[in-house]
Every structure is written in C-alpha cells, then in structure tokens.
Chains A and B, each alone.
Chain A
Amino acid sequence: MAVMQPLWELHEVSKAFPGVQALDRVSLNIFPGEVHALLGENGSGKSTLAKCLTGAHQPDMGSILKDGEPVTLSHPLEARAHGVAAIYQEFSLVPALTVAENVYLGRPMRSPRLGLLDWDGMRHSTSQVLGQLAMAISPDAVVRDLSVAEQQLVEIAKAVSLDSTLLIMDEPTAALGLGETRRLLALVRDLAAQGKAILYISHRLDEVFRVADRVTVLKDGVVVGSGMAHDITMDDVVRMMVGLEIDQHYPKQRNARPEVCLEVRDLRTENGVNGVSFDVHVGEVLGLGGMVGSGRTEIARALFGLDRPTAGEVRLYGVPLHFSSPADAIRAGVGLVPENRKADGLFYNFEGPPNITISRLRDVLVGPFLKLARERQVAKAYVEKLSITPSALTRSVQYLSGGNQQKVMIARWLYAKARLLILDEPTQGIDIGAKLDVYRVINELTSQGIGIILISSDYPELLAMSDRIAVVRDGRIVRVAPAQEMTEHELLSLASGANGESVKGGARLMIRRGDGPGFPRERRDGWATQE
C-alpha cells in the first residue's frame, strides 16, 4: 500500500478558540486500511482535530478533502454521511435502552410493508455486528447493566454498523483493563484489515506502537512530527511531545512554615470519606493524589461545607469548624477554585469586578448599598496584582482566556481573605504560559501564608508544585510524604492500589497528564450539588 490515494486529507487546517490557537496549519493524510495514531499532550489539539473531521467544529482556515475532493463538514450528520464515525470517551449510549436499540438509535430499521419498527431485523443485524467483532454481548442486554468495557465495545459496534469508512477513536482504552485493551487493539487491527481507516487518539505510547501504522505528533496545535510507526522510536515521540521544556515550567517556591493552618482528624462523610487525618501547614501546598472516585474530591467537598461530616474534627488555625454550607466555610476563611470554571466558578453574566467581589460583598457595602466605584477599584488592584488582562474590568468574563478566568477565580478568594484555598485541577485547559502564571500565583499565595490543598491529575505538576503529597484511595489516606521523595511511579501505584505490576513499559508517558488507568475522561467530580 505504498502509493495510495488518501481517503481523507487535511490541508493547513487552523482553528482558534478565544485565547487559544487550537490548531495551527495542521496537515494530515489518512489512508484506508491504515491505523493512524494521533499523539500529543492534553491541549495539544488532538480532540479539536478529530472534531473538525466529525463536523462538530469547522476549521477557520484550510481545507478538508475526501478522496481528493474538498468537502465541508458543517454538521455531524454530514460527516456521518461521508462515512465518518467517532467513538468518544464520553459514551453516547442511552443507559435505559438495549444494545440493539442503542445501535440503531436515530436511524431505525423499518419493516418494508407497514413502516413499523423492525425489531427482529435490528436485533439480528446487531448480533451480526457483535459476532463479527467477536463480542459476547447480547443485543437484548440493557446498556445500564453492562460493564464500562462492554459499553465501550457497544460504542464501537455502533460505529461499525454505520458502514463508516473512517473510525475516529478518542482514547478508547481509557476505561479499559489490560485484557480488554488487548482485545480492543486486536479489534482495531481487524477493522483496518477490513479496509477501514482509523484515526486513533491516545496518550499511551505502548498501545499506540502496538496498533498504529502511521504516527502524527501534535504539540500546541502544530504537527511536530509524522511518519510510519516502524521508522520512529518511542523516545523520538516523547521528545516531540514534550519538547525541550520538560521541567522548567514548575517554578516551585517552598514557603511552608511550621505552624499548622488546617488540622483534619478522622474525618468521615456518608459519600466516601472514611476516616481521614492530615495537616496543612501555613504556606504549604499539600497535594492530594488519587484516582477519580478515590475520595479526594469528597474530602475537599467536606472541607468546603458541601457534605456534612458524620464524624471527625476539622480545625482552622486551632478553631474547630462546623460547616453546614459553603457560606460558613467562606466565612471561616476557606476558598475553593473548582475544576470546571465555567460550570461552577464564574458568572458569565457579570464583568470581572462582580466576579471578584461576590464572596465578600460586605466589604464594598456602605450601609445597605454596594459602592460600585469602590468595587471597581478593588478589582483594578487585583487585575494589576495578578496581571489579569485589563479588559476583565469592563467585559463579561466569558470572553477571557482560560488563564485569565482562572486568575479571576483566585482573585475572588484573595479578596475574600481565604486562609486555606482548595485548588481543584487549577491548570486544566489553560495554555503553558497561563499555567506558569498560575504556578507563580500559588507561590505568591503561599508566601502570604495561605495554606493550599492542590488536587491535580497532572502528576508531574502535582509532584513539582506540592510540598507534601497525600495519596488518597478508597476514602483513606494511604501515604503522606514530602513531594521530593515521591516518584510518579510510586504515586500511581499507591493511588491505583497496584503493586507496580501493571505499570511498566511506557508507563511514564502514560501517566503524564493523568490519563492513565482509572482516569476515564468523563470524570466530572461534581461540585454542582443540591443544597
């Protein structure tokens, strides 16, 4: 298959989002019968590229060609009509329906005579597809009852049944165990052998090298390398992905002091904190490491007054705390920067100033009235201090870049005089420069004596920016150690409960951005809850 016409060609495709150039003149060819792996760190533009092919995004510039003909994919349905099927990490299955119903969702088979739904036909052809893929799943099984891995396979069966010619798989093994991953990779090879083109997006190098024919590496929206898999080594790819700036972007200052800021003793809640004890010192960053569902978010929730503890004691500067709402926690001096800024943090209907003062309005009150001029001054001071873009003062925060938005959130807690700040994934979805800014702000905060609890799935970041690491598993803290004494490897095996067995060969890369086993991306640790 040396000289072949590519099935799909991307030519100099660019796509920008507010504050980020997600794709910068990316060119890529996808051939039938070939597995094309797309590699890159989080935020490198892989998913944006995939979405340009599925019609979910439209490129700002550049062209997309199918069989040499330019096509416009302005809607996912158009992409589907062109034979593109995508399997996302977030499942698109309806849990209450059966496998067959899901596979034929939105395009029911009808019996020729009456025009009624032809369930027998749909069941039959579903079991054919499943059989073809050697999957032991009944078409009548209800999706809710299937394991995550089985659901993933149903997603694939659905994509295959669409008679697609290009299958896009975005981290298809994120939720799978070792055996299931092996089966999936075999399946991918089979599909390629049947002549389908496959765009395989992953972080896991070992996996990629087992399955891919061709490899393209993206970094910050630019193609930094591309070639046949057998011409490239894993080391090359690592160098391309990471670039030269491996460790220099962690300007860690150690500001921890001996005095204790927060004491937690035997904290328990109903939703998965099972007796947790730890201290956070003044000016210290305590990193909470752990998988999704390990209980690290739940610990933070309890400290912020969202879940009521069933037992245990929490003291802030020696004062026992009894929170029953975030308002209580805020009054006591606890702040939270949630993982999802848009959903749980920012008010898009406000400009910067009200976003900053919202948690401590009483300081801009004179009598019962808000002094808007004073509010503006306050905001201006923080804009200067944290080098937030000045347009934050007059425009809705929705138009700010991720980094500026994050700094607005931090300004809110500085203004609210938080003495303990919980940062949940503070650098997710922001670019390198803004990350650096956030790290500098963390240093600034700790130098002022603020204690920080840092939750991050970015393990290198967690290790570099924390003074100590507490590893959480099953709602307990399994180990607390100085961050310098812990390695990524150790952290991962403690967090996953593995003895290190499952972590080998390419594991270093596999956990680079926290997308290792147990980090399915549909994670949404849910700060949004009922009162």
Chain B
Amino acid sequence: MEILRKFLRSSIIGPMGALVIAVLIVSMTTDRFLTAQNLMNVSLQVSTVAIAAIGATLVILTGGIDLSPGSAVALTTCLLAIFVKNQGMPVGIGLMLALGLGAGMGLLNGLLSTYGRIPSYVATLANMSGFRGLAFLITKGSPIFSVSPFLEPLFYGRLLGVPLPFYYVVALYGLTYVYLRNTASGRAIYAVGGNESAARLSGIHVSRTRLWAFILAGLTAAIAGVLMTARLNSGSPNYGVGLELAAIAAAVIGGASLTGGYGNVVATLFGALTVAVVQNVLNLNAVPAAWQNITLGLIIVLAVGFDMWRSDIARAASRLIWRS
C-alpha cells in the first residue's frame, strides 16, 4: 500500500502515463504497431536516442542545455569508421579512442560554457555546427560504408535471446540512476542546477560540476555514435540529424526542468520511449519526414509548456472543481 502510494506520487508516473497513452493511441490507429517485429524494431531504434538522452538529462539537471549530441554522434561514426577502415585499427581500440574523443567533445562544450562563460546553448549550438563540419571535413563529405564485420554484432548480437542494445540501455540507465541518487558528484549536479549560488556557498565547485556533466554528455553521445556505426556498419556526416532534439524531448517529457535541479533519469527513459513510439507510428503511416520534424517540435513545446503552465493548469482545474 505504502509502496503503491509512493509510486503514484513519484516523478516517473507522468512520463509512464505519457508512454501508455502514446501506445494506446498508436495501436488504435494502426494494427502494424503491436507486432513482435515492429516492437523489436522500436526498441532497437530507441537505443541511440535513449543513451544520448542520458547526457541531455545530466546537462539539463545542472541548468544547462546541450545542442551538440546529434553532431557529436555523426562525428563519432566518422571517426570510428576512419580509425577502423582507413587506419586499420582493431575495433576495440578504435572504439575506445572514439569514446575518448566523444568525452573530449563534451569537455570542449563544458570548457566554453563554464570557464569560457559562453551560455551553454550558444556554445553547444556552435559545436553542433562545428562537430558536423568536422565530420564532413574528415570524410570529405562521403559516407564510409562496410567498416568492419566485427562491428555489426555489437548491435545485432543477442544474449539469452535478448538483443544487446537492450543491455546497454539498462546498464547505462542503471548506472546513471545510482550515480545521481547515491554519489556526492550526482548530488552536486542537482545542487548546482537547483541553486548555483547556494551550491558555491556550500563548498561545491560549480564550474567543475558543470564541466563534468558536459563530459558525461559527450561520452553518452559517443556511445550512441558507436552503436549507430555498428547498426549501419558505416560512418557518415549525415547521421544523427535532429537527435539532439529527440534527446532533449526525452528528458523534458521525463519531467526534467529546463531551469535545472529537477528531473529523474529513469523518467527520461520513458520519455525516450514515448518519442520513439511517436516517430515509429509516423514511419508506419508513411508520414513525410517534414511532418515528423514538425511533430517532434510540437512534442517539445507541449512537454516544456506543460512544465511551465503546470501551476496555471492546476489553478484552473481547482477553480473548475470549486465551481461545480
């Protein structure tokens, strides 16, 4: 009973509800959604966005925003493809290097927005352009196909009958959940986002904390990039377009407040699933890409709007109840 009450009051219930509603609506509009094959596709597709959304959540929790993960993913696929195919590195080493460079991209975002004092939305917007430009530069604009036969199993492999990406997502979300809830560093992320000045006066190194969140965000973007390379066995500067928006949408649907300090990474997972379900149904119904973009924009506005208008909605609702 107590557990049930706690659950109903927890911050996960909203995003979970959003997911359930999305699934209900979707399965009413098409009978192709609730097929084993399609559900498998959705859960595989969601993995990249879901992992990038971890980073988006961490940065948003500190009160910043990261607009660069889509481009960071593209750059990572290109780097990994070049390392393995052109330079002939073993997959394992190329992978580590790509992840390290991803963290470096996050470090750059973080340095610009903390010690460089450039607002994070500007710094990461610049890098959104810069990283993708770099991806075009190093590939001379053309995708690199058939990178390595050892890559695809990373994505399509199974363990105990379950696709590997499922394990990655569960492991990363589990780690992040424990990190945020049960470590001093995770606590600092919430503190900095909740009240920067108070955090500083409590002895927390504010800039260092923000920097760290950006590094982790770079790392998760790189992991998403590696997964994408494995899935498509290729690297391309055109990958990951719009991924940053999907990741931010996932965090925001999950209830992360853009002012910082409020949010729950598990809720972000439900946000990512909701986004994936919506995108999937648009694909199933062969809705043109243009409309998919518009829908994603709308989802973000509604999710943030719901956060901002929450008090007004509550007031209006209580007034209605009062009247009747």
Q: Do A and B bind each other?
A: yes
- Interfacial residues, chain A to chain B (CB-CB below 8 A): 304, 325-327, 329-331, 336, 338, 343-350, 354, 358-359, 361-362, 365, 368-370, 372, 412, 527-531
Instruction: Give the contact stretch, choosing among B41-49, B143-151, B185-193.
Output: B185-193
User: Is there an interface contact between B262 and A349, defined as CB atoms closer than 8 Å?
Assistant: yes
Collect the chain B residues with CB atoms within 8 Å of residue A359's CB. 202-203
B206 within 8 Å of A (CB atoms): yes
Collect the chain A residues with CB atoms within 8 Å of residue B202's CB. 326, 330, 358-359, 412
Contact of B198 among A346, A365, A372, A531 (CB under 8 A): A346
Number of A-B contacts (CB under 8 A): 85
Question: Can you show 7 pairs from A to B with CB atoms below 8 A apart?
Answer: A327-B203, A330-B203, A343-B195, A344-B197, A354-B190, A354-B191, A531-B200
CA–CA, A365 and B184, complex, Å: 8
B182 within 8 Å of A (CB atoms): yes
B205 within 8 Å of A (CB atoms): yes
Contact of A344 among B193, B198, B262 (CB under 8 A): B198
- Knowing A344-B198, A345-B198, A528-B197 touch, does A369 contact B203 (C-beta < 8 A)? no
User: Is there an interface contact between B194 and A527, defined as CB atoms closer than 8 Å?
Assistant: no
A370, A372, A530 interface centre (most CB from chain B within 10 Å): A370
Closest 4 A/B residue pairs (Cβ): A349-B194, A349-B261, A528-B197, A330-B203
Using an 8 Å CB-CB cutoff, how does the interface string of B237-278 with A read, 1 for contact, 0 for none?
000000000000000000000000110000000000000000
- Interfacial residues, chain B to chain A (CB-CB below 8 A): 117, 178, 181-184, 187, 190-191, 193-207, 261-262
CA–CA, A9 and B117, complex, Å: 52
A329, A372, A528 interface centre (most CB from chain B within 10 Å): A528
User: Is there an interface contact between A327 and B204, defined as CB atoms closer than 8 Å?
Assistant: yes
Contact of A358 among B182, B183, B187, B205 (CB under 8 A): B187
Collect the chain A residues with CB atoms within 8 Å of residue B190's CB. 347, 349-350, 354
Contact of B197 among A343, A350, A358, A365 (CB under 8 A): A343
CA–CA, A325 and B204, complex, Å: 9
- Closest beta carbon of chain B to A185's beta carbon, Å: 39
Collect the chain B residues with CB atoms within 8 Å of residue A529's CB. 200
User: Is there an interface contact between B183 and A527, defined as CB atoms closer than 8 Å?
Assistant: no
CA–CA, A346 and B178, complex, Å: 24
The closest CB in chain B to the CB of A344 belongs to B197
Inter-chain pairs besides A344-B197, A369-B178, A370-B187, 17 sampled, C-beta below 8 Å? A326-B202, A326-B203, A343-B197, A344-B195, A345-B201, A349-B193, A349-B261, A350-B194, A358-B199, A358-B203, A359-B202, A361-B184, A365-B184, A370-B181, A370-B183, A370-B184, A531-B200
- Knowing A347-B261, A349-B262 touch, does A325 contact B205 (C-beta < 8 A)? yes
User: Is there an interface contact between B183 and A368, defined as CB atoms closer than 8 Å?
Assistant: yes
Collect the chain B residues with CB atoms within 8 Å of residue A358's CB. 187, 191, 199, 202-204
- Closest beta carbon of chain B to A213's beta carbon, Å: 41
- Closest beta carbon of chain B to A347's beta carbon, Å: 4
The closest CB in chain A to the CB of B186 belongs to A370
CA–CA, A354 and B192, complex, Å: 13
- Closest beta carbon of chain A to B197's beta carbon, Å: 4
Contact of A372 among B182, B195, B199 (CB under 8 A): B182
User: Is there an interface contact between A347 and B195, defined as CB atoms closer than 8 Å?
Assistant: yes
- Closest beta carbon of chain B to A334's beta carbon, Å: 10
A365, A369, A372 interface centre (most CB from chain B within 10 Å): A369
B191, B196, B197 interface centre (most CB from chain A within 10 Å): B197
User: Is there an interface contact between A331 and B203, defined as CB atoms closer than 8 Å?
Assistant: yes
- Closest beta carbon of chain A to B219's beta carbon, Å: 18
Collect the chain B residues with CB atoms within 8 Å of residue A349's CB. 190, 193-195, 261-262
